[in-house]
Amino acid sequence: MDTVSENRCFGGTQGVYTHASKATGTEMTFGLFQPVEAKDGPVPVLWYLSGLTCTHENAMMKAGAQAWAADHGIALVFPDTSPRGTGVADDDAFDLGQGAGFYVNATQDPWAEHFQMWDYITDELPRALFKRFALDEARQGITGHSMGGHGALTIAMSFPDRFASVSAFAPICNPMESDWGQKQFAAYLGENTALWEPHDATFLMREQGFPGPVLIDTGTADQFGDLLKTEALAAAIATRRQPATLRMQPGYDHSYFFVSSFMEDHVAFHADAMYGVAA
């Protein structure tokens, strides 16, 4: 693992690191904020998964999460959204290929060689982080925006014993029924829709739910509202009687202005859950 940069940030350190990934077969980059408490021992960790077209840098620079994480003594992980490089398959469309990994393991050519983002996020990167940094594996939360919200919800419901809490900003809630999902799942996973189900938050909510607290914020003026399918997830939450808070925020769109406006709430939400878990 190589250090790209480390900067003093709210008393802690905002770092950027690269490492060779066996899962993707590429070099991967991630950001990690460590609060000052990490000098004294492992701290809780909040994963932030970004959306379409983003790298590790977007949320790290725009979400304003470090200030609130520092207040609670929480580390933040900002992974990239896909493998990258000249030898990695890509597409001219912004919502497929590099920058659009959708947090799945691709099985179809030309994507299968490198687009193994599920394994990277759920297995390889966590192992590398907990080996190198002072992070408390027993206290984890996960959040994300848009495509990253989809990833956060599906990963949390697939690993319910790992995460104390899950939240999302304007998540893609029902990708099996959306153009943001059907296109990508067909390309990455093929036409067998049974393979899509583990990556659809609405399906997972109906089938199994999540044992911890759930928080979702979406703006009423979100320009991609028809693609997000928030109503489908809300219906699944209600049908399952899943304890959850789903807020439609008046006038907010899909941008990082929206994300940063409610980041304090989300970090505090995860802090409450993670500090409630025995060390």
Bridge partners of 6, per DSSP, are 15
Q: Phi-psi bin for 183: left (phi > 0), alpha (psi -120 to 50), beta? A: alpha
Put the strands of the sheet holding 214-219 in their side by side order.
2-9, 12-20, 27-34, 75-79, 43-49, 135-144, 165-169, 214-219, 245-249
Strand 12-20 vs strand 27-34: parallel, antiparallel, or unpaired?
A: antiparallel
Does the N-terminal peptide bond of residue 110 adopt cis geometry, omega within 30 degrees of 0?
yes
Residue in 91, 77, 262 with CA at minimum distance from that of residue 188? 91
**Quick check: is 114 catalytic?**
no
Q: Which of the following is catalytic: 21, 50, 82, 146?
A: 146
Q: Around Cβ 160, how many Cβ atoms within 10 Å?
A: 13
List the helix and strand counts (H, then E) for the chain. 10, 9
Hey, what are 58's tokens?
Answer: 């977007």
**Quick check: is 146 catalytic?**
yes
**Quick check: is 266 catalytic?**
no
Q: Which of the following is catalytic: 145, 254, 266, 270?
A: 254
Q: Around Cβ 252, how many Cβ atoms within 10 Å?
A: 20
Q: Around Cβ 241, how many Cβ atoms within 10 Å?
A: 8
What amino acid positions are annotated as catalytic residues? 146, 222, 254
